[in-house]
Structure formats: C-alpha cells, structure tokens
Structure 1
C-alpha cells in the first residue's frame, strides 16, 4: 500500500472523528455557550484528555511500536503476544493505582493545577471537581486502547484505531440530543456529558481489543513483572513521556491561566475543536503511519527509503496545511459564526473564538510538521532530543502566556502556543539536518516557496471575496443563507489555490501519481488468525 493510501486510511477515520467532534461542539455551544457550566466541563475534561493525548498520540506508541515490531521480526507472533502481555500487566496495574490516587486528590488538583481561577465561584469549582472525578477513568481506558492501537499499527491495520475515537463524539452527541428532548438545564447537561465521556472510554477500548483479537493476538493478564523487554520499554518511554508531558503542560498551564477570566477556557476549547479538524486529519495520519514505516526502513538499512518517506511526508503536509492555515487566518469569523453562533453562543462569543482561531491558523503548519519530524528521532530510539526541545517550547509558552494574558486575554495564550510550536518545529528539523538524518530533496525545496506563494495569493483573493460577501455573513443573516456563502468561499479558495499550485509547479500530477502508486517494500502483515 502506498504512503498516501496509508495516510488516507488513517485520515478517513480521523476525519470522521473530527466531523462528529465539530457537530458535538456546535450542539454544546448552543446548549451551554461560554458560560460557567461550559467552563467547568471543559476544564474538567482537559485533565484526562491531556493524558489521553500523551499516551494515545505520543509517548507510549513512540516507545512501544518499534519494540513490538522488532519482537514480531525476532520471535514471530507468539513473541509479540508475550511481550504485549508483559506490558499490559504493568500498564494496567500502574493505571489503576494512578486513577485511585487522582480520584482522591481531585479537589486539590483542580484548586492548584487545573483551574485555580474557579475558586472565586464555589459552584463552578464544585462542578469542575465532580465532573473531573467522573471522567478521569477515561484515561485508563484510553491508555490501554493506545497500546492496542500501537499493535494494530505495527500490523498495518490502521482503520480500527483511527475510527474508535468517533464513538466519543457519537455518544456525546446522543447525550446532547437526549438532553434537548427532555429539556434539561445546563447542570444536568454538564453531568450527562461527563458520564458520556466515561462510557465512551469503555466503548473505544472494546473496539480496539476486538480488533487485536481479530488480528490473531489474544492478550491475557499477567502479574506485573519488570522483564528485560518491559525495562527497555520504560527506558525509551520515559523521555518520550516527558516530551509529550511537557507539550501537554502547555495546555494545562494555559487552562490554568485562562481560568482567571470568565469564558476564556471555553473560548480556547471551541477554537481548538475547529483547528483540530485539519491538524488531526493530516497530523495524526502522518504520525501514525510514518513511525512504523520509518522504523521498518531503518531496521532494513534502507536509508534512501527512510529519507524519501520523510520528504514525501513533509511535501504532503505542506500541500494540504498551507492553504488551510491561510483560510483559518482570513475567514475564521465566518466559520465560527456559521458553526457555533446560536442559542447561548452570542456574537461576542464569535468574536472572541474567531480571534483565537485566526492565531491558531498561523501555527497549523508548525504543529503538523512536528508530528512528521518526531518519528525521525523515535524510529532511531532517540526520545531524549525531542524531550529537550519540548522543554524549551514549554518555557517559551509559559513565559509568553503569563506576559500576554493581561494584555490580550485568551488571544495572548493562543499566540504563546503558536510561537512555542514554531520554535519546537525549527529545532527538530535543524537537528535532523545537522545529524544527516534528513537528506536534501531538490524537488521539495523548489516546491515549498511556490506553495507558500499559492496559499498567500489564495488568502488575498479570499479576503476580498469575504469583504464583498459581508452582508450575507452578518450575525442577523439566516443560516440557510450563510452556509452556501461560506461553502462557496471555501470552494473559491480551493480553486484559486490548486490552480496556482499546479500552474507554478508547487504541485504536479506526476508528483501525486508517484506518491499514490509508490508501494511500500514492507513485507505483508501476518495473516489473520482466528480470534483466540
């Protein structure tokens, strides 16, 4: 299967999740707006979700996937099963202990880490603590699911792990629909959503567990023992966990700072949900596929293929994210107004969230490129260098957020995140080049400025088109008029961008054809065995 086809397999599942997530956010915005219940839920959900991102998209897979793939090569499926059971025993035990500790400490954690700004509102503070207690077991479910997703990715079975997150949003949409039908107030909706998160964790874990069984591996529970394999995993995972943990500290610190202003936590969460659509679809797809592919190429000593994988990934990323970044920068307000401005979500909420989204657009290429650069370290079992650079970025983020929040409110926090992201991306790329792990690719170097020009020209065209269409995009305009205008603007921007990209040589049909047809030299995955 070609690299692009593998990206598309993962991206299709991620796209489903992001689209349902946007639908969920639209319903939540209408039901809760940016009020105190929305702030409480988003702050409470941030804590387990931070750990989910750490385990599911970062540290665990970074360490587990290369070792699991090695075990398959060295000892076959039976050795891989034994290794996975050893890891599962330790991981399950640690997660249970962590969950109990966090549940008992939740009032202290909310007071000191998550949202100290809520202390002035006892009702909001109490709701945040209660919702966080309900949702925190979601972490254990998603961490175990991350391990099984890593196994599936190593076996070249990408879809189940990519589609499982859809069910979080499906369940939460169901909760919101039921609440609307029953006429529940904000408090009941907030607690219903919290229980929905908990249920979604169990469902997602069940999906990947059955997928692993269908792949021929049945994981049994073993008492935790620190075997040589587990110790090697911990040696690799600890720096990667710190790397991911440092990155997620940015989010926790930003939530902590934003809790000092009414509605700021929810405004950041709303903008993040829209921005996660292109980031998740492209970034997670690239990171999920690139790590096992790079690890395989490096194990076989094929440095030329490893370099090609990295360059084609960056080419794919820039081709798709540069126009998305330009569009978010120019038309963030019409997008937010169409998606969210109804019910409790006011025109002032639209203004605040669209300002944040425009800033996030500037950081979109950086955050997706980070996901393409990090596998170049992790596939070589170097998890320390990204940890150091992530630490640098968090210092920049915290310093800028504390400085800018009093001046720019939540927009200052977004500016700090974006600046830190670009610094991290530049450091990662420069190190890969300096070590000789990133070969010079002349076609890629000539395409980048042409793609930037195409995206910039598209942004100018879109800016003037929005100005012309302003009467049809105003707050008082009905949705059935706004929607076709917004989609028309998106279609216009796509036509302008792709026409310029192909006309200037930033992209070519030959390039796309080569990438789509480019077959991986990896051996086929093991045949499906019966579920044990």
Structure 2
C-alpha cells in the first residue's frame, strides 16, 4: 500500500525495536518447547520420527507460512505499491488460488505418507517408521494453513502491523508444550519409556497442527478488522496485481521448496547415524532462536524499502540499503557464530542436558552446533539478497540457483558425511549457502550496473576477523574458568557460559567500535535512543 494510505512511517530502528521484542518472546517459547521435547524423548523414537514426519508440513509452515517466506515477500512487494482499497480483492484472490493448490498437497501427504517417510528415512527402525507415518498424516493439513499464514503475514506487514507477525509463532510452541505437560501429568516419569513413544509422537503431531490453526485464526481476525480481506472466494486471477504476485510467488515458492529437498537429502545420508535426525532439530533450534530474531529485525523493515526502491532511478539508494542489510547481518551473525563455535558444549548442556537427554546426546548436538555456527552469516546474508531480487520482481534467479544447489548439496553431502559424520552434512549446507550468496552477488552486480565491492567487502572482512578474535577470547575464558571451577554442576556451567560469552562480546564490541562502520553505529544509536526513551 502506498504511503498516503498508511500511518506515518516508523523509523527502521523503531520497527526493529518492536520486532525484536515480539520475536524474542516467540523464540523463547520455541526454545522452551524444544527443551520439553528433549526432556521427554531425548533422541529416542518419538523425537526421531517427528524429525522425519515434520519435513514437509514443517518446512511448508516455515517457508510458505514464515515471516520473510516467499508468499510473505511476494504479497508485501505488490501491496506496498498499491492503494489500500485494492488490497482486499487482491488478497482474497491470492488466498483462493493458494488454498486450492495446497489442498492438493495436503491430500497427497495423507495418501502417500508411508512412501514419503520411506524415501527420507530409508534406514529407520520399524517402530520409528510407523510413528513417523502417523505423525505425517496428522500434520498434513499444515500445508494449507502454511499458505494462509504466509499471505496473512504479507498483508499485515504491508499495513505496518509488525507485532503480530513476530509474536504469533509462539502459539505453536504453547500448544506443543501444553500437550506434553498433560501427557507428563498422566504418565509421570514413564513418559521416557520406549513403550509410550507412539503416544508421545501423536501428542507432538496434534500439538503442532493445533498451533498452526491458532496462528492463522489470530492473524485472520486482525486482517478482517483492518479491512484487508476475508474468506470470500475470488477468481479474478488475471488482474494485474494478482499476476504480479504470481510472477514473484511461483518461482520463489518453488525455489523455497528446494530447501526441504536439501533437508531430505541430508536426512537420507544421516539416517544410518543413530540420533542424527533428532540432533539436527535440537542444534538447529539453538541457531534459529537468535537467527530468527535478528533476521526479522533486519528483513521485515527492509523488504518494503527494497520494493519502493526497485525502479532504476532509485538504484543508488537501493545499493545503500543492501549494504546496510549485509553489514548489519555481518555485525550480528559473525560474532554469534563465533560464540556458538567456542561455547557449543556448555550451551547444549545448559539448554538440553536433563531428563532423557544424556551426555552422549550433548556430544552429538554440540558438534552439530559448531558446524551451524560457522555458516550463520551466509545463511542470513543469502536471505537479504534473495529479498532484493523479489523486490525487483525477479523470482526466477533465486529459483535457478536453488535448482543448481540441489545437485551441489547431494555432492557435498556425499563427500563430507564420511570424514565428518553428521556435522559434515551441516557443513555441506554451509557450502551451499556460500555458493548461493556468491552467485546472487555476482548476478546482482550485473543487474544493478555494478556493486561497490570494496566498500562492502572490507568492513565485512574486518568484522569476520574481529569475530575470530572474539571467539578465541571466549574459548580461552571458558578453558580458564573450567580449570578453576571444574566442569560439573548446572550453576557452574551457567556461570562459565555467561562469563565466556561476556568476554567474547566485549572483545568484538571493542573491535567493531574501533572500525567505525556508519550503518552499524547509526543503527545502534537509534535503537539505544528508542529504548532509553521508553
């Protein structure tokens, strides 16, 4: 929707403050959910089956229904350029089209659940396989709700509604935790016994589906109140606005759909490794908690700005905004990745090691966390660049790159799984993200008539070097504190983690301050002013 149709614009830092607070609450609940699953099932049959059953419905929810997903990005890119009265018919038509398509996907998952599980989990034990098949059939309707949620996110984002976008995913966490709580009250300590794995697996599946339904209902109510569309069926598929959404959405959706294929490939290679699939979920959650908060802070405000600067006459300003997005990504992701690598073991111990989650599981998950930490910057940096292409109305380029990366991921999985085991599969994903980011930058350089490589590259390299120094300082502090205090006891581990993390952050902050990067200093200053004013 155009500026005259909206409330006065909030500043980038103002939006970031709202998004940060709401996303933090949502991610904390997500972490609590994963802790509850870890304590109840560890890396046993219920959690392992859930990892395989969740591949398609879960990734549809995250990618199609997620903030910054292809549906969200396409709807924002189109609605931002149009008047408010055009929004409802456009949203209703897109909803009709997407819902019809995803109903077919839902039915297909129910009918072919056993074949899907057999493809991605060829080495699963029979009990785990049976649980996964039932879980997939229960969660199959999430395909439909994923599309509806993604459209709603885009509609609300275009209307400057940021709080609900960032906080509504906590509903899924609440329903899963509530279900596990009821199950724990019924079974007590017996919940961890293998004979109750089927019951636990069903609770996980039904809780996840209930959360998706609630998330959609909450945003639908707000959407109705704002007059931005109802559940009315519309078939005006040839209108210019709808055609523009389809032009961006179709390749972007297919491109995003390549990611579950990559994950399924990873799980295929991981299936002979005991506990690897569940380990991926636990380690990924630890990375996605800060990554999700920061990605929302950076991408939510920037996506409408990218769309408004898509015209050739605005490309100089667009390049400045892309630089801002990449430098803020480097400033946040590089030091966080370094801390993940340096402090992987105490992080996993503090968050997960209780109940059915034993030291052996800590060893597995911490090794995976190291590999994830290495790739945090390229993961989010790639997302920033993909959103630029969406804003320019080009969904084909990210799609073609995703097709190429499927083959690359298979090759890297095959090479890395033998020498490195499960962490090698994560390193393969890091390699794929590096490849994507480099190709996107090269193509963007050609599309925008040149990029200032030196102006972008030198600050990022400096921040990378500062992150390495900070990681070394953090790890050294951890080793020193362990020599003095030992390695056992939750309070001692928490103290060591806090102290080591503080040292690493302080070292990086000193280096970043010395570098005097304008975008970083301006963002921090405005964010500080906002929170101090409150």
TM-score, normalised to structure 1, is: 0.90
Separation in 2, partners of 1:41, 1:517: 41
Cα drift, residue 254 of structure 1: 1.1
Matched, 1:207 2:218: yes
Task: Summarize deviations over 1:306-359 as a string: whole Å, max 9, x none.
Answer: 222211111211111111011111111111111111121111111111111101
- Are residues 514 and 24 of structure 1, via their aligned partners in 2, closer, same or farther at CA, if it must alter by over 3 Å? closer
Cα drift, residue 472 of structure 1: 7.5
Whether the 8 Å contact between 1:138 and 1:198 is mirrored in structure 2 is yes
**Is 207-216 or 131-140 further displaced after alignment?**
207-216
- Are residues 408 and 456 of structure 1, via their aligned partners in 2, closer, same or farther at CA, if it must alter by over 3 Å? closer
Q: Which residue of 1 aligns with 2:432?
A: 420
Residue among 476, 492, 499 paired with 2:503: 492
- Runs of 4+ off more than 4 Å: 441-446, 471-475, 506-510, 513-519
Q: Which residue of 1 aligns with 2:461?
A: 449
- Are residues 518 and 298 of structure 1, via their aligned partners in 2, closer, same or farther at CA, if it must alter by over 3 Å? farther
Q: 5 Å matches for 1:317-328?
A: 317-328=329-340
Residue among 346, 352, 360 paired with 2:372: 360
- Are residues 468 and 260 of structure 1, via their aligned partners in 2, closer, same or farther at CA, if it must alter by over 3 Å? same
Cα drift, residue 290 of structure 1: 1.9
Matched, 1:236 2:242: no
Q: Which residue of 2 aligns with 1:122?
A: 126
Separation in 2, partners of 1:286, 1:256: 33
- Are residues 474 and 397 of structure 1, via their aligned partners in 2, closer, same or farther at CA, if it must alter by over 3 Å? farther
Q: Which residue of 2 aligns with 1:150?
A: 154
Residue among 26, 30, 38 paired with 2:35: 26
Cα drift, residue 225 of structure 1: 5.2
Higher relative contact order (CA 8 A, sep 6+): 1
Whether the 8 Å contact between 2:254 and 2:399 is mirrored in structure 1 is yes
- Are residues 414 and 291 of structure 1, via their aligned partners in 2, closer, same or farther at CA, if it must alter by over 3 Å? same
- Are residues 106 and 241 of structure 1, via their aligned partners in 2, closer, same or farther at CA, if it must alter by over 3 Å? same
Separation in 2, partners of 1:487, 1:438: 44
Q: 5 Å matches for 1:123-142?
A: 123-142=127-146
- Are residues 8 and 139 of structure 1, via their aligned partners in 2, closer, same or farther at CA, if it must alter by over 3 Å? farther
Matched, 1:468 2:480: yes
Matched, 1:87 2:94: yes
- Give SS of 2:288's match: helix
Task: Summarize deviations over 1:202-224 as a string: whole Å, max 9, x none.
Answer: 11001111121232324242154
Gapped regions of structure 2 (runs ≥ 5): 1-9
Q: Which residue of 2 aligns with 1:170?
A: 174
Q: Which residue of 2 aligns with 1:37?
A: 46
TM-score, normalised to structure 2, is: 0.90
Task: Summarize deviations over 1:39-83 as a string: whole Å, max 9, x none.
Answer: 00121112201112331343222332222233x3xxx32221111
Q: Which residue of 2 aligns with 1:501?
A: 512
**Is 393-402 or 443-452 further displaced after alignment?**
443-452
Q: Which residue of 2 aligns with 1:528?
A: none
Matched, 1:13 2:17: no
Whether the 8 Å contact between 1:2 and 1:518 is mirrored in structure 2 is no
Question: RMSD in angstroms over aligned alpha carbons?
Answer: 2.4
Cα drift, residue 478 of structure 1: 2.0
Q: Which residue of 2 aligns with 1:261?
A: 273
- Are residues 91 and 303 of structure 1, via their aligned partners in 2, closer, same or farther at CA, if it must alter by over 3 Å? same
Separation in 1, partners of 2:138, 2:485: 40
Q: What is the total number of aligned residue pairs between the two structures?
A: 511
Cα drift, residue 27 of structure 1: 1.7
Separation in 2, partners of 1:441, 1:398: 31
- Are residues 513 and 8 of structure 1, via their aligned partners in 2, closer, same or farther at CA, if it must alter by over 3 Å? closer
Whether the 8 Å contact between 1:236 and 1:381 is mirrored in structure 2 is yes
Q: Which residue of 1 aligns with 2:3?
A: none
Cα drift, residue 163 of structure 1: 0.9
Whether the 8 Å contact between 1:117 and 1:261 is mirrored in structure 2 is no
- Give SS of 2:160's match: coil
- Are residues 86 and 513 of structure 1, via their aligned partners in 2, closer, same or farther at CA, if it must alter by over 3 Å? same
Task: Summarize deviations over 1:428-477 as a string: whole Å, max 9, x none.
Answer: 112212333664287655533332232121111112111112258866x2
